[in-house]
Amino acid sequence: GAGVSQSPSNKVTEKGKDVELRCDPISGHTALYWYRQSLGQGLEFLIYFQGNSAPDKSGLPSDRFSAERTGGSVSTLTIQRTQQEDSAVYLCASSSTTSGGTVEQFFGPGTRLTVL
Amino acid sequence: GNSVTQMEGPVTLSEEAFLTINCTYTATGYPSLFWYVQYPGEGLQLLLKATKADDKGSNKGFEATYRKETTSFHLEKGSVQVSDSAVYFCALSALSGGSYIPTFGRGTSLIVHP
């Protein structure tokens, strides 16, 4: 009965370093989303995976951001050459097959990234 | 594009007061509408949803009605408790570029005092 898990829960890095954030979705969920939540802001959509289809990357803010999803399950969000403005909470969510967008998302606890 | 606008917080109330958090949206087509809640130190979780016009979503004493004519989905509760203190996010899900990508509002912080 595990929910969505994310690791690490906190990450402090130096400007210019690369970071990898991990998301384990709920077993059987075909859809997986990454969001960024900055202080005082809403959730900013980053990328969406649905089954074996090509991901929707329309929300990635720059080419420093990339994500992959292996075997239709675990996903990794990679940020290269981190900048201070990348500091935020990165949230992962999963859902069962979207039925016309009516299905709820289940969120992980997030990874708080701090770039010094 | 799609957008969600919700009232800015924080909203500060005394216990047993009436709560309204306004939410309006812009979307093409017929979106589904959601309210998510984020309790301190926890992840977002679904509070309620409505998938078509005039539907009312309800959960834990909270209600919201999908109003297509005013493009609104205001969250209400008749008597709030201290345990309702959290951040509330209004969201919609609509077809965009072939995908159902949810759009979230900025969140409204609710603080309930005893």
CA–CA distance, B71 with A90 (Å, rounded to integer): 29
pLDDT, position B46: 94
Closest alpha carbon within chain B to A49:
B99
pLDDT, position A47: 94
Separation in Å, CA of A92 to nearest CA in chain B: 10
Section B23-30 average pLDDT:
90
Residue range B55-103, pLDDT digits in tens:
999 999 999 999 999 999 999 999 999 999 999 999 998 877 777 788 8
Closest alpha carbon within chain A to B109:
A40
Chain B residue numbers with beta carbons less than 8 Å from the beta carbon of A45 are 101-103
pLDDT band at B8 (very low <50, low <70, confident <90, very high): confident
- Radius of gyration of chain A measured on its C-alpha atoms: 14
| CA dihedral sign, ordered B53, B23, A44, B112 | negative
Separation in Å, CA of A106 to nearest CA in chain B: 7
Residue A57 has which token pair?
Answer: 């990357």
Contact B25/B71 with Cβ under 8 angstroms?
A: yes
Pairing of strands A10-13, A111-115: parallel
Q: HSE (CB half, 13 Å, CA atoms) of A77?
A: 33
pLDDT, position A85: 94
